[in-house]
Structure 1
Amino acid sequence: MTATSSFAALGLSQTLVDAVAEQGYTQPYPIQQQAIPAVLTGRDILGIAKTGSGKTASFVLPILQRFAGRKGAGRRSMRVLVLVPTRELAVQVAEVFQTFAEYLKTPLQTTAVFGGVSINPQMIALRNAEIVVATPGRLLDLISQNAADLSTLDTLVLDEADKMLELGFAEEMNQVLAQVPQQRQTLLFSATLGDAIQDIRDNLLRDPLLIDIAEPEQSIDQIHQLAYRVDLERKGPLLRYLIKHNAMQQVLVFVSSTRTADNLVVKLTKNGIQAAAIHGDKSQGARTDALTRFKAGKLTVLVATDLIARGIDIQQLPHVVNFELPRSPKDYVHRIGRTGRADAMGEAISLITPDDEHHFKIIQKKMGKRVEILPSDDINLQGY
């Protein structure tokens, strides 16, 4: 398909075209160029695209257009279901729906449902919700209590399907899929196209349009990568030095465990750096608050584990730091891909101890890029 230079040329209504412009989007990303016209015609889609490629808007905009003009009577029912792997992503996708729905003359009611919070308010919110963004486990809880009914669905979206499978949601996904109507439009999005995704495709989609925008190297090219060789006991002070010395205002720091995340936040805070941790052991309220403050620029450092990485979508995030290296090169690429998004430059810094050196060489080899490793012995860390 040839590139399309404007949202108006994709078949969107003038109302949504104006909404997109008002939100600051000038031209569609590749996945939007292909997906939006296809969704508008009702076709099933298998989209292979990394996080940050613009895929959320590629299904949100045409779905809103298709259902905005529908005149319903009586009690509202669920028409669109979006399944996602994490609470943060559920909130994020729902916010995109809500942002653009505000521009419509007949706004559609959207709600996000996920675990970690009280189920009662979600049961109430579902009564009038036409668009539901959900994690599989909480949705099944709501179905078991007769608070959610999938029989009226027109459109099913599986977002970050590979991540749902990685997190062990396969059985729960199957239970949900067994309850959706056979006659529906299905949109499947994944960062990778493995055997499991192929199985879902074969069993779930009807003559889907395959859209493959998976180009991880493209985002890496926009990221300035560097590393510091540092002894284990100097790692914390070096992190604080880099943040203060370089006057970093927004830094996403990755660690390997919840314990390290919490300890790091304590030490950063004691040294006058505003920081918060976000991981699976935190309450949903704490996670939402930390992410909201970080996105708004009210928090300098967000310390995160890999579990919630895909729920963090910040268009202009300037810095990512690997305080601890991930286990796999794939996770490394995904981590640093939080920065350098939407054609913006970013910086990714890794702190490498002697024990990390061999593993970091493997990561560089798999990534196909050499990362400059700077010494840190000559940096005076006294007072940090």
Structure 2
Amino acid sequence: MSFTSLGLPQSLQKALEDQKYTEAYPIQKEAIPAILKKKDVLGIAQTGSGKTASYVLPILSNLQGASISKNRHIKTLVLVPTRELAAQVLEVFEQFSTALADPIKCLAVHGGVSINPQMKAMNKVDVLVATPGRLLELEDSNAVHLSEIETLVLDEADKMLNLGFADEMNRIFSLLPKKRQNLLFSATLSKNVEDVNQVLLKDPLVIKIEAEIDTFDLIDQIAYSIAEEKKGPLLRHIIKKNDLQQVLVFTSTAHRADAVAYKLSKNGIQATSTHSKKSQGARTENLRKFKTGKLRVLVATDLLTRGIDIEFLPYVVNYDLPRSPKDYIHRIGRTGRAESPGEAISFITANDEHHFRVIQKKMGKRVNLVDTKNIDIKG
């Protein structure tokens, strides 16, 4: 289905066309018309399924021609779990807002940076994308008022609840007007998400897009049986031998991410690390360079399993396996998106073998395990 049949204004259709978006994703086909009609929506769909645009486009459409809000009284609030996701959601809002006859002012606020510039930037903001903690800090300082919110969005609701934001979210809910549109999007329908749904949403349209097997078919998965001490040489060998560009490498800890990036750089492979111990400025800049192809390898912790959105990311490497099969799927889901193939590479030590079998069983797909004994890593 094309976007022309979903009820969006001509200006947004033109913007979609200019950016080569022709066919709407399944969640967009159902969510956009419902949100345009001001219905509550519960959208369950995997990472990379087009959830962000499914609410950004109709929200911008509904704000067109609306009355000017009072200063610091925002109309749309989008709550997200991480700084990276806040920046990326804002990017989508701004990407399409500029196409409107009357552009909507949008702002992202989050921790990790000084609050003062964010307080000053709150003037005449209509759409605020926020992490819960920073939003409450701004509200406590009277820098933002939530009493006239017309639309509330919870994006990656499962992640927010898993990260322990429940108390902060409940406090935010208590500050909002009772009459409003509520939109809840999540990769999974956990018990926590279902509980929030029952309290928050009123007669919602429930959209559940099942992950298709074809999604994994776009991802060429391969695993290497390797001793722990040989992971670094193997990674460098694979990148150099195959001339890999734009490689996202996942490690288990921030310290390990730094060490892997350092070794890559020392061996002539442009790389840097990103994780929660880096400043927000450094994280944003590293991600920008990686997304634009100016950085060959980005080494990250699971902070970025859902916080990075690159439409055509070709390579993901599990230097260390994640703790759960769900996290594995989120990691490799960074590639094989927008109908473009990608490659997911995993390093499996002897201690990982049982866990990796569990991951494959949960995923419903077998991954070829290559013995590295006969690979000349140094060569």
Pair in the same fold by TM > 0.5: yes
Partners in 1 of 2:297 and 2:77 — Cα distance? 34
**8 A Cα contact 1:78 1:153, kept in partner:** yes
Partners in 2 of 1:366 and 1:51 — Cα distance? 17
Please state if 1:115 is matched with 2:137. no
2:183 partner letter:
L
Residue of structure 2 equivalent to 1:228:
224
CA displacement at 1:215 relative to structure 2: 1.1
CA displacement at 1:72 relative to structure 2: 2.1
1:93-172 equivalences in 2 (<5 Å) = 93-172=89-168
Equivalent residue in structure 2 for 1:275, among 232, 249, 271: 271
Q: How many aligned residue pairs are there?
A: 379
Equivalent residue in structure 2 for 1:179, among 175, 181, 185: 175
Equivalent residue in structure 1 for 2:42, among 42, 46, 49: 46
Residue of structure 2 equivalent to 1:17:
13
Partners in 2 of 1:335 and 1:182 — Cα distance? 37
Please state if 1:302 is matched with 2:298. yes
Please state if 1:246 is matched with 2:242. yes
Partners in 1 of 2:137 and 2:373 — Cα distance? 54
- 1:18–1:76: structure 2 CA closer, same or farther, 3 Å change rule? farther
CA displacement at 1:75 relative to structure 2: 3.6
Partners in 2 of 1:76 and 1:141 — Cα distance? 14
Please state if 1:319 is matched with 2:315. yes
CA displacement at 1:221 relative to structure 2: 2.0
Cα deviation 1:71-120 (Å, max 9, x = unaligned): 42764630000000000000000011011010111111000000000000
Between the two proteins, what is the percent identity of the paired residues?
59
Partners in 2 of 1:80 and 1:207 — Cα distance? 20
Unaligned residue ranges in structure 1 (runs of 5+)? none
**8 A Cα contact 2:223 2:348, kept in partner:** yes
Equivalent residue in structure 1 for 2:335, among 332, 339, 342: 339
Cα deviation 1:128-172 (Å, max 9, x = unaligned): 211000000110111111111101111000000000011111111
**8 A Cα contact 2:69 2:124, kept in partner:** no
2:149 partner letter:
L
Partners in 1 of 2:215 and 2:176 — Cα distance? 36
1:363 partner letter:
I
Secondary structure of 1:127's counterpart equals: coil
Partners in 1 of 2:362 and 2:60 — Cα distance? 41
Partners in 2 of 1:278 and 1:345 — Cα distance? 25
**8 A Cα contact 1:220 1:333, kept in partner:** no
Q: Which moved more, 1:38-47 or 1:355-364?
A: 355-364
Residue of structure 2 equivalent to 1:219:
215
1:42 partner letter:
K
Secondary structure of 2:175's counterpart equals: coil
Structure 1 vs Structure 2 CA RMSD: 1.2
2:101 partner letter:
K
**8 A Cα contact 1:86 1:308, kept in partner:** no
Unaligned residue ranges in structure 2 (runs of 5+)? none
- TM-score normalised according to structure 1 size: 0.96
2:75 partner letter:
R
Partners in 1 of 2:69 and 2:124 — Cα distance? 12
Equivalent residue in structure 1 for 2:28, among 32, 35, 41: 32
